[in-house]
Structure 1
Amino acid sequence: MEVLIIGAGVAGLSAAWRLAGAGVKDVRVVELEDEPGGTSRSGKNAVSAFPWGAHYLPAPLTEQGAVLRLLREMGFVTGMDAGGYPVFPEELLIREPDERLFYRGSWYEGLYLRAGASAGDLAELARFEARMNAFAAARDAKGRKAFAVPTALSSDDAEWTALDAVSMAQWMEAEGFRSARLKWLVDYACRDDYGTTAEGVSAWAGIWYFAARQDGRGERSEGFLSWPEGNGRLVRQLLGALDPRRLERHVLVHTVEPGEDGCRVEALEAGTGKPRAFQARQVVFAGPRFVAAHVVAPWRQQRPAWMGAFSYGPWVVANLTLSSPPQSRGFPLAWDNVFYESRSLGYVAATHQMLRQDDAGPTVLTWYLPLAGLDVKAERERVLAAGYEDWERLVMADMLPAHPGIAGQAQRLEVMRWGHAMIRPAPGFMWGPARFAAQESLGRTLHFAHTDLGGMALFEEANWFGVRAAERVLGALGRPSTSWL
């Protein structure tokens, strides 16, 4: 065959989508799991579709790039505004109320706890926002944003990349940001996008969260795009470019041997143990580095020195079906509902984006817990040691203070454990040599795509590296075309 893609997460499906766009027909995708999509996969029950991981996409600011091309394919870009930014249908943008915060018995609007904030707290918040706006507006001599989406488009000037050497917590302290409320907000941001606390996140990555998706005027793009199934909707669109017969599930790849004329790939059928072998002119390995270390034959024989720099945090996601929306005190039910005094991130309401007449009907709440400790091995062991009953007790105990009657409304609880859910952008990782060394192809026949190559577990990163790998394949096949990046 011409092209074999190993892994049907967003990166692998993006590679297949790009190859389809170039007219390459002889493409096969193999996937170990029951369903494609990786951490963007979704589920569905009689009440609603719901996410099992990533649940939104920030509306892109620019008119260039592969993500916007995908949204145009879906009919989700209705035009451009006076500032040159894309315009999206109102029904796709998260409708109000979009965010609320639970603190000591009541819900409050937004994610910054303004209730009871002192003048000093608010002054620090204003100073922090001004700094983030300045970072967002910053450009280098080549006109590149200091902090861009995807990260590959960011400036590599030392003025900005030096921020990668310290943690976000250290940067906050050095800058005199000591308000407990502001520190909570920054810590929440790090847990939300990176799965760990500000102590474990590079200052460059922490600032990126607040600066990359705005233009320096304080506006974080047009908003967020979301669907009941979260980014599962984007997965479905990517899958549409692939002939269903070209996707094989339950295939466990155990060896990839690159050669001058192609790659030999050996695998097992996960259900039967039947051996499989593939020979492809070009291979895209669209899995994480910790798997590649055991599968790519040259790396299995001699582990690359950079491999140890990659660290992945575990998550637990639960979907709770209720007979009716949970009762709340204070600000009403929103799309994103966050608990201030919890290790979890709270939950999103899957039915928030559904256009239905009865908002009092049954709903599905998707609850997220990043295991945020710095010792990822210990955190992973905690995740695997707990059984369903343990997670059921934890989820319900976390919900109960905010929703005292929720146990009587609960109809079904499903739990997903993600052992290596997110690459962590630890200090020194984003602009250190390891991440860039890992992006290189092996010869002209084996290429790599995954969010871990971008240092952030985000749809935009997976899509960018999937498209880039596909364009390397096109070049190697002698079929170059105008880049989508």
Structure 2
Amino acid sequence: MELTRRELIAAFLGSAVAASACRRSRSRAPVPGEIIDRAVDTGHRLRGGPLPRAEVAEQVEVLIIGAGIAGLSAAWRLAGAGLKDVRVVELDDAVGGTSRSGKNSVSAFPWGAHYLPAPLTQQGPVMRMLREMGAVKGTDVEGYPTFEEELLIREPDERLFYQGDWYEGLYLYAGASPADLAELKRFEARMNAFAAARDGKGRKAFTVPTALSSDDAEWTALDKVSMAQWMEAEGFRSPRLKWFVDYACRDDYGATSEGVSAWAAIWYFAARQDGKGERSEGFLSWPEGNGRLVRQLMSSLGPKQVERHVLVHTVEPGADGCRVEALDAKEGKPRAFQARQVVFAGPHFVAAHVVAPWRQQRPEWLGAFTYGPWVVANLTLSGPPRSRGFPLAWDNVFYESRSLGYVLATHQALRQYEGGPTVLTWYLPMVGLDVKAEREKVLSAGYAEWEGMVMADLMMAHPGIAEQALRLEVMRWGHAMIRPTPGFMWGPARFAAQESLGRTLHFAHTDLGGMALFEEANWFGVKAAERVLKELGQSVTSWL
């Protein structure tokens, strides 16, 4: 049965947005634009039966399959070791995975991840990369790294829309009762205690990356329940606090607190501070979001080392290397590679269809990997959107919508956009527990439906925005983010997936960390590269 416009908006964004759209239902010209994702159609060819094999294989020392952050991080690490015969192949026409970016005449803008939390430590591959790009300014009196001011999100950084007005920050203080505020204070104290906690070996209970966190049962037991269950057991029942925690889970994990492990949700609040509250310098960001970090990783590679439009459909590991069968996704011609070492830097739901031994006998633990879909839209405006209350910020969140609101791509520009054009990057995680049904919903809606939903959401907070809209582009991510579901972070599946297959096939992806975060992808990319170097007989001083 075909849904009405109001029913469609309610199904995706909630009843409050649908009611607002109904009140503002006067006719308007649709915003010109398009759905720009295409790789999903090509990628689904993996399920269409056997694909042709090439007669001759190209010889390469190291082949990296996938040019997302993990694959590029692996290539960056190998380049740092002086390895030259490295090839990266990517299905899409753009590199970076969910950190990719776009650009128009107004601004660069993200198509996914749009910031990097400022690290608290001087060690590790992320800090090495930030030093390479000149982002690190120095060290403060406590030994924490400091960063160049122009990279830190300038104020105002966050605001929240609720019942017609904008308010500062992401917790709804307006109208909060003394009981609400007391519960918030108690929750913050608990998170600070988690952040300060150390085990008998001196390891933080929760830290970045997750691989360095304590594995003591005192903390890992939190992975067995959902964050919603933990909050109920701890007596956290304030609707405002529950919304705030749900927002955190939707923002970083693409799921609500019902579908996120309590360990993962507490990690969100505790891992990036030292137990005294907000210790991190904040967020590092650029107009193109984490596309800037993609560009930095790419700068270590030669122009011919990264090939696009390559659909890898079979990886056959052997004692002396791997045979990799692929298809030129543009011309349909078969290709093959014979590599001494291979890094598969794609998600495990793809690996299940590509790694030959797994096709023949699928490991049971692959079923534990769950990926949530997202939709990202970039809307170009003739000027900044007009609003009432707290002024326009970098991150602009809607309390009454299932979307995450939008990020202002031009916020970090040195000039003020008081009257000039700008770009809004709008985010919608599809948080339902049935990810297959959520994915089908995302892919079934066409441009007209998405245009209607994006504009309905934005018009709730900015009634005049339709007159300012110049162009809308929509990106659907069918398997955008690994979900840290209860039992996954410290269960056997994630650790089984981290193991190499023999001595020639290694894995690197953010799903190995259980969280779709830059730091996790970077960590596992570097880790896989160092396994490659070891197998090639090189002496390795770890960057980890």
Q: Scaled by the length of structure 1, what TM-score is found?
A: 1.00
Aligned with residue 208 of structure 1, among 267, 271, 294: 267
In the TM superposition, residue 252 of structure 1 has moved relative to its aligned partner by 0.3
**How big is each residue's C-alpha offset from its partner over 1:430-476, in whole Å with a ceiling of 9 and x where there is no partner?**
00000000000001100000000000000000000000000000000
Aligned with residue 224 of structure 2, among 165, 168, 179: 165
**How big is each residue's C-alpha offset from its partner over 1:377-411, in whole Å with a ceiling of 9 and x where there is no partner?**
00000001100110000000001111010000000
Q: Distance in 2 between the 1:360 and 1:62 partners?
A: 40
Q: Distance in 1 between the 2:539 and 2:113 partners?
A: 32
Sequence identity of aligned pairs in percent?
Answer: 85
- Could you say which residue in structure 1 is the equivalent of 2:313? 254
Secondary structure class of the residue paired with 1:181: helix
Secondary structure class of the residue paired with 1:227: coil
**How big is each residue's C-alpha offset from its partner over 1:173-197, in whole Å with a ceiling of 9 and x where there is no partner?**
0000000000000000000000010
Superposed, 1:454-469 pairs within 5 Å as 454-469=513-528
1:421 aligns with 2:480: yes
- Could you say which residue in structure 2 is the equivalent of 1:294? 353
Moved >2 Å (runs of 4+): 357-360
1:400 aligns with 2:462: no
Q: Distance in 2 between the 1:332 and 1:78 partners?
A: 30
Q: Distance in 2 between the 1:83 and 1:256 partners?
A: 48
In the TM superposition, residue 249 of structure 1 has moved relative to its aligned partner by 0.4
Q: Distance in 2 between the 1:353 and 1:110 partners?
A: 18
1:126 aligns with 2:185: yes
Secondary structure class of the residue paired with 2:273: coil
Aligned with residue 499 of structure 2, among 411, 430, 440: 440
In the TM superposition, residue 357 of structure 1 has moved relative to its aligned partner by 4.7
Q: Distance in 1 between the 2:419 and 2:212 partners?
A: 45
CA contact (8 A) 2:245 2:257 kept: yes
Figure out how many residues of one structure are paired with residues of the other and give that number.
485
Change (3 A) 1:75 1:42: same
Give the counterpart letter for 1:137 in structure 2: A
**How big is each residue's C-alpha offset from its partner over 1:158-207, in whole Å with a ceiling of 9 and x where there is no partner?**
00000000000000000000000000000000000000100000000010
1:273 aligns with 2:341: no
CA contact (8 A) 2:314 2:354 kept: yes
Q: Distance in 2 between the 1:337 and 1:147 partners?
A: 28
Superposed, 1:228-267 pairs within 5 Å as 228-267=287-326
CA contact (8 A) 1:62 1:86 kept: yes
Q: Scaled by the length of structure 2, what TM-score is found?
A: 0.89
Q: Distance in 2 between the 1:75 and 1:484 partners?
A: 18
Give the counterpart letter for 2:124 in structure 1: G
1:135 aligns with 2:200: no
In the TM superposition, residue 220 of structure 1 has moved relative to its aligned partner by 4.5
CA contact (8 A) 1:471 1:480 kept: no
Secondary structure class of the residue paired with 2:150: coil
Give the counterpart letter for 1:219 in structure 2: E
CA contact (8 A) 1:31 1:251 kept: yes
Give the counterpart letter for 1:343 in structure 2: R
CA contact (8 A) 2:383 2:417 kept: no
Structure 1: gaps (5+ residues): none
Aligned with residue 57 of structure 1, among 107, 116, 120: 116
Please identify, of 351-360 and 19-28, the stretch whose mean Cα deviation from structure 2 is larger.
351-360
- Could you say which residue in structure 1 is the equivalent of 2:510? 451
CA contact (8 A) 1:289 1:307 kept: yes
**RMSD value, Cα:** 0.6
In the TM superposition, residue 341 of structure 1 has moved relative to its aligned partner by 0.1
- Could you say which residue in structure 2 is the equivalent of 1:194? 253
- Could you say which residue in structure 2 is the equivalent of 1:308? 367
**How big is each residue's C-alpha offset from its partner over 1:313-366, in whole Å with a ceiling of 9 and x where there is no partner?**
000000000000000100000000000000000000000011125432100000
Secondary structure class of the residue paired with 1:200: coil
Secondary structure class of the residue paired with 1:207: helix
1:370 aligns with 2:429: yes
Q: Distance in 1 between the 2:81 and 2:440 partners?
A: 44
